[in-house]
């Protein structure tokens, strides 16, 4: 007997996992696809409506706003998280003492629950008694409304009213992005550290002999040789950011998604429509469009970024 013989045992081994995945994953996915073409509201299924849900969706201003909010959130959260974690990881990688202690501290937010962390940050952001406004007052700066501020950050910076697409995320949404950066930093640092360990010392040696300073070395050795890791981190962080939900529920409002709908992200809108209002058909259409968008963004990142990834030969 060798490992290549077919036995019925294999079927029995696969049965538990396959059953669960089929019933609770594959079927709901197919079902979501089907429901997007049905009118299914609070009173149950009312039949096939073709593309009606999608037509309504594309005319739904709240959906467009939720998409815009999600994009703003992602566009700020992802680069911030990557830039900061890359810098910290490369500092940690320079053979300093106490690397273990630093790593532990930076990693701690990753294992803590997003709900608890959101509750704590909401307290930090409190406009009247929060720690952040206290720090601003020490620095003789104006206090901010943080999570209650619907105005866009570019509006706040320039001090004038701007058209919709130039406003930037509301300060409320930006505050949530800031918290997410803090929370996800440790994970990205650890991934970057693993990537940095794989860069052979000879490259650094060569850079040193050529007389490169620390910044030149970072730019011309570390960044290109680390690009496969950066690529992975970018795609992962983007996919996770696009799905932000819990901090919206716990930090904003009441009702969540405010102020003025500026923190209503796609998944929160999906939750509102598909679950709270029980518009299952409409919710499925949102889910369907959202999935296509994630897919397109990932493919876009793969084609555009992968060209710039330097694979060592």
Partner 1 sequence: MRFKWDRLVIHLVLLLGAILMMLPFLWMLSTSFKTQAEALLFPPTWIPKEFTLANYHVVWTKVHFPHYIYVSLVVTLFTLVGVLLTSILAAYAFSWFQFPGRESLFVGILSLMMVPIPVYVVPLFVLVQKLGWVDTYYALIVPWTANIFSIFLLRQHFRSIPANLYDAAVIDGCGRLRFLFQILLPLTKPALVTIAVFNVIGSWNAFMWPLMVTNSDRMRVIQVGLAYFAQGESTNYPALMAASTIAILPLVILFFFAQKQIVESYARSGLKE
In the range 5-24, which residues lie near partner 1 by CB under 8 A?
5-7, 9-11, 13-14, 16-18, 20-21, 23-24
Owner of token pair 């897919």: 295
Closest CA relative to residue 180, chosen from 229, 137, 242, 256: 242
38 DSSP 8-state letter: E
Distance of CA 190 to the CA centre of its chain: 17
Task: Tell me which of 46, 55, 94, 308 binds partner 1, using CB under 8 A.
Answer: 94
| Site for partner 1 contains 254 (CB under 8 A) | yes
- When the beta carbons of 108 and 166 are compared against partner 1, the nearer one is 108
How far is the C-alpha of 133 from the C-alpha of 224, rounded, in Å? Answer: 40
| Site for partner 1 contains 245 (CB under 8 A) | yes
Task: Tell me which of 41, 109, 127, 150 binds partner 1, using CB under 8 A.
Answer: 109
Identify residues 193-232 at the interface with partner 1 (CB under 8 A). Answer: 193-195, 214, 229, 232
Task: Tell me which of 88, 147, 176, 225 binds partner 1, using CB under 8 A.
Answer: 88
Q: What tokens were used for 133? A: 């406004």
| Site for partner 1 contains 178 (CB under 8 A) | no
- When the beta carbons of 55 and 94 are compared against partner 1, the nearer one is 94
Angle at 168 between CA 163 and CA 169, to 5 degrees: 125
- When the beta carbons of 124 and 199 are compared against partner 1, the nearer one is 124
Concatenated DSSP letters of 113-153: -HHHHHHHHHHHT-TTT-HHHHHHHHTT-----GGG--SBH
How far is the C-alpha of 142 from the C-alpha of 154, rounded, in Å? Answer: 16
In whole angstroms, the minimum distance from the beta carbon of 117 to partner 1 comes to 7
Task: Tell me which of 104, 158, 161, 216 binds partner 1, using CB under 8 A.
Answer: 104
| Site for partner 1 contains 243 (CB under 8 A) | yes
């Amino acid at each position: 007997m060798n490992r290549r013989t077919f036995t019925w045992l294999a079927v029995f081994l696969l049965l538990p996992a396959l059953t669960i995945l089929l019933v609770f994953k594959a079927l709901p996915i197919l079902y979501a696809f089907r429901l997007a073409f049905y009118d299914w509201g609070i009173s149950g299924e009312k039949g096939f409506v073709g593309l009606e849900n999608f037509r309504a969706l594309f005319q739904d201003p709240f959906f467009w706003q939720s998409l815009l909010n999600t994009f703003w959130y992602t566009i700020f959260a992802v680069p911030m998280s990557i830039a900061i974690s890359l810098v910290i990881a490369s500092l940690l990688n320079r053979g300093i003492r106490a690397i273990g202690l630093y790593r532990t501290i930076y990693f701690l937010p990753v294992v803590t629950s997003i709900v608890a962390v959101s509750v704590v940050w909401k307290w930090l952001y409190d406009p009247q008694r929060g720690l952040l406004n206290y720090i601003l007052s020490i620095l003789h700066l104006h206090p901010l409304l943080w999570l209650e501020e619907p105005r866009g950050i570019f509006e706040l910076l320039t001090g004038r009213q701007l058209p919709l697409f130039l406003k930037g995320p509301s300060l409320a949404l930006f505050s949530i992005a800031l918290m997410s950066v803090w929370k996800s930093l440790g994970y990205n640092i650890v991934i970057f550290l693993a990537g940095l360990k794989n860069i052979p010392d000879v490259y650094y040696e060569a850079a040193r002999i050529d007389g490169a300073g620390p910044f030149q070395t970072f730019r011309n050795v570390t960044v290109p040789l680390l690009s496969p890791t950066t690529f992975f981190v970018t795609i992962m962080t983007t996919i996770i950011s696009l799905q932000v939900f819990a901090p919206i529920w716990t930090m904003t409002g009441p009702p969540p998604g405010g102020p003025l709908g500026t923190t209503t992200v796609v998944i929160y809108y999906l939750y509102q429509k598909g679950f709270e209002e029980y518009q299952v058909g409409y919710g499925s259409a949102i889910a369907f469009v959202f999935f296509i968008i994630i897919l397109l963004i990932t493919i876009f990142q793969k084609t555009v970024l992968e060209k710039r990834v330097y694979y060592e030969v």
